[in-house]
Structure 1
Amino acid sequence: MATETTAHARPAIDAALVRRLVDAQFPHWADLPLTLLDPAGSDHAIYRLGKELSVRLPRHAGAIGQAEKESHWLPLLAPHLPLAIPVPVGVGEPDFGYPWPWAVSRWLVGEVATVEALAGSPSTAVELAGFLTALQKFTPEDIPVGDTLEGLTDRPLADRDRATRAAIAEVGGVFDGAAMTELWDAALAAPAWDRPPVWFHGDFHTGNLLTRDGRLSAVIDFGGLGIGDPACDVTIAFTLMSAGSRAAFRAELGVDDATWARGRGWALATGLNAYTSYAAVNPRVTAQTTRQITEALIG
């Protein structure tokens, strides 16, 4: 089990470890080959297991709990959503020095969405708005009796204030510091969500969308799933869309000015966090987050 000494470390993850975990805890899959998915996300190491499964292991303590959350909630959400989402088939236990729960899900066929293919597509923007609308309509009546919403509360944008202002100061020579500060101040000053809480994805950006034959096919990585203010999901408008498709997305989703302002704040804050954490060592992240920050400043 995780201990105080391991809770904040980044455990070493390699194919040998994953093989041992799978073989010990899911012996019926012991004969299936393992293949590292590269590049994977910053939160998880991902391996394909055979042709039909994927294994995801948290890389850091911030991703702890995602396996159990997805295993519980995704089967309940899936029937209500217009795009495919992961189908959990097992949650592994800590073992062999690996400290946290990990997940096995059905493999979703598709390619990660790209700006080049989809940025200028109003129909894609409308489809994404439809997905979020369906997610937001998942109601308490759809939740099993006795279930709790523990761990699903939203995160106030203001919680990111200190880190975001520090990041603005750090990258002021790369982006327009005054414009970023103005955007951030406006996001924090915008009226809060004053309607009943709704479901949000929580990490709704280009890298968590899959396509097949040039069309959206699936949404993945629901580790940030929660209930509350949906402004964080507006981030997709700035990671994927151009100005024209962004307007179609906003109109279809019916986003008011205050939520849009908070959404721009989320896009700026998360973009800056990724840029300052990974841009120096990952050119792919540099390109993605540079676009995200720039588009958020455009609005």
Structure 2
Amino acid sequence: MQMHANQLTVSPQTVRMLVDQQFPEWQSLPVRSIAAQGTVNAVFRIGDGFAARFPLEPADVEPTRRRLKAEAEAARELAGRTRFPTPELVALGESGAGYPLPWSVQTWLPGTVADDEDPGESVAFARDLADLIGDLRAIDTRGRTFAGTGRGGDLRTHDAWMETCFRHSGQLLDVPRLRRIWATLRDLPRGATEDVMAHSDLIPGNVLVSDGRLAGILDVGGFGPADPSLDLVSAWHLLEAGPREVLLDHLGCGGLQRERGKAWAFVQAMGLVWYYVDSNPVMSRMGRRSLERILADGSSRDLPARSQAAN
């Protein structure tokens, strides 16, 4: 089942033709599809060292090319700035063989995505994740601030999207209870904290695990300035209660920052449950589990009004 309206189809045969035509030096390397749970790209391995990523949603060619170049620039900026490996751009491909958009080739990273090797009970993984977030926050923003329309700015700008989610979730979730939670979360003040550099999408499918430790980070194209709480979505997307406390304590998160991280996780999880309930059950279940963790989290407390500075 398709995840998006008019979703593009990419077959191994198409990838083989594109690779042979545009990168003849790789003609001897096998091409095979990856049973990934991603929602934005179809992913294929080229030999043992490369991963080809093909956008799935229809778009115009030039904006897609600009986006891929921006993602590559973000990957270059992040490369080597933490002790955890991240993919690096190898090449940009062009449309052809019936596929209408530019596409990218990145280095392949070893490890198992956290969807398949759950690190939720691992304290060592929680410490690794805290180190990653701390390293990202330490990277110079060079004066940049959040300028997007997605997660990372003002929580209240997501009211319309949340209303859409509530409307579609009536048969799936306890919507009245979730509405009450959002009514509180949306009003959490940002305070005087400045934007920091963030991965911006630390969900299980973007995290590689090996023997219960953080082994690498995928999909780094969203790396950029954002609310310091944004990467704390990982506390609820990836961790159970005990390791979650280790992560938050390691980062020195005060109550307000913690709750704002929970709010960003809530926004993301609410969309995943209903949107992917049929087309990508793994993503839908991930959203549901994150919501269950949020509902069970005992840290919720009366927090200051929006005018108070964040911790």
TM-score by length of 2: 0.83
Query: Counterparts of 1:111-126 in structure 2 under 5 Å?
Result: 111-114=112-115, 117-126=118-127
Is the contact between residue 112 and residue 206 of structure 1 (CA under 8 Å) also seen in structure 2? yes
Q: Name which of 288, 291, 294 aligns with 1:290.
A: 288
Structure 1 pair 115/109, CA: closer, same or farther in 2 (3 Å)? closer
For residues 177 and 150 of structure 1, what CA distance do their matches in structure 2 show?
30
For residues 231 and 88 of structure 2, what CA distance do their matches in structure 1 show?
21
Query: Counterparts of 1:226-237 in structure 2 under 5 Å?
Result: 226-237=224-235
Report the residue type matching 2:108 in the other structure. Answer: W
**Structure 2 unmatched ranges of 5 or more:** 298-311
Secondary structure in structure 1 of the residue aligned to 2:293: helix
Q: Name which of 246, 254, 258 aligns with 2:252.
A: 254
For residues 13 and 218 of structure 1, what CA distance do their matches in structure 2 show?
26
For residues 253 and 158 of structure 1, what CA distance do their matches in structure 2 show?
25
For residues 167 and 183 of structure 1, what CA distance do their matches in structure 2 show?
14
Structure 1 pair 252/71, CA: closer, same or farther in 2 (3 Å)? same
Report the residue type matching 2:84 in the other structure. Answer: L
Report the residue type matching 1:60 in the other structure. Answer: E
Structure 1 pair 296/104, CA: closer, same or farther in 2 (3 Å)? same
Secondary structure in structure 1 of the residue aligned to 2:53: strand
Structure 1 pair 263/115, CA: closer, same or farther in 2 (3 Å)? farther
Secondary structure in structure 2 of the residue aligned to 1:85: coil
Deviates more, 1:181-190 or 1:104-113: 181-190
Residue 42 of structure 1 aligns with which residue? Answer: 39
Is the contact between residue 78 and residue 85 of structure 1 (CA under 8 Å) also seen in structure 2? yes
Matched, 1:103 2:101: no
Residue 56 of structure 2 aligns with which residue? Answer: 59
Structure 1 pair 93/255, CA: closer, same or farther in 2 (3 Å)? farther
Is the contact between residue 69 and residue 223 of structure 1 (CA under 8 Å) also seen in structure 2? yes
Is the contact between residue 47 and residue 55 of structure 1 (CA under 8 Å) also seen in structure 2? yes
Report the residue type matching 2:208 in the other structure. Answer: L
TM-score by length of 1: 0.86
Is the contact between residue 199 and residue 226 of structure 1 (CA under 8 Å) also seen in structure 2? yes
Q: Deviations over 1:231-282 (max 9, x none)?
A: 2211111111111111111111222333322222221221121111111233
Report the residue type matching 2:264 in the other structure. Answer: W
Report the residue type matching 1:83 in the other structure. Answer: F
State the shift of 1:179 in Å: 2.7
**Structure 1 unmatched ranges of 5 or more:** 1-7
Q: Name which of 211, 215, 218 aligns with 2:213.
A: 215
For residues 69 and 128 of structure 1, what CA distance do their matches in structure 2 show?
25
For residues 59 and 116 of structure 1, what CA distance do their matches in structure 2 show?
26
Q: Deviations over 1:39-79 (max 9, x none)?
A: 34111100000111110111115894553223212233222
Q: Name which of 149, 156, 159 aligns with 1:158.
A: 156
Is the contact between residue 186 and residue 261 of structure 1 (CA under 8 Å) also seen in structure 2? no
Is the contact between residue 48 and residue 108 of structure 2 (CA under 8 Å) also seen in structure 1? yes
Deviates more, 1:88-97 or 1:26-35: 88-97
Is the contact between residue 122 and residue 212 of structure 2 (CA under 8 Å) also seen in structure 1? no
State the shift of 1:186 in Å: 1.9
State the shift of 1:115 in Å: 8.1
Residue 88 of structure 1 aligns with which residue? Answer: 89
Is the contact between residue 71 and residue 91 of structure 1 (CA under 8 Å) also seen in structure 2? no
Q: Deviations over 1:185-213 (max 9, x none)?
A: 22210112522221111111111111223
Is the contact between residue 208 and residue 215 of structure 2 (CA under 8 Å) also seen in structure 1? yes
Structure 1 pair 214/125, CA: closer, same or farther in 2 (3 Å)? closer
For this pair of structures, how many residues does the alignment match?
Answer: 287
Structure 1 pair 159/25, CA: closer, same or farther in 2 (3 Å)? farther
Is the contact between residue 37 and residue 283 of structure 2 (CA under 8 Å) also seen in structure 1? no
Secondary structure in structure 1 of the residue aligned to 2:189: coil
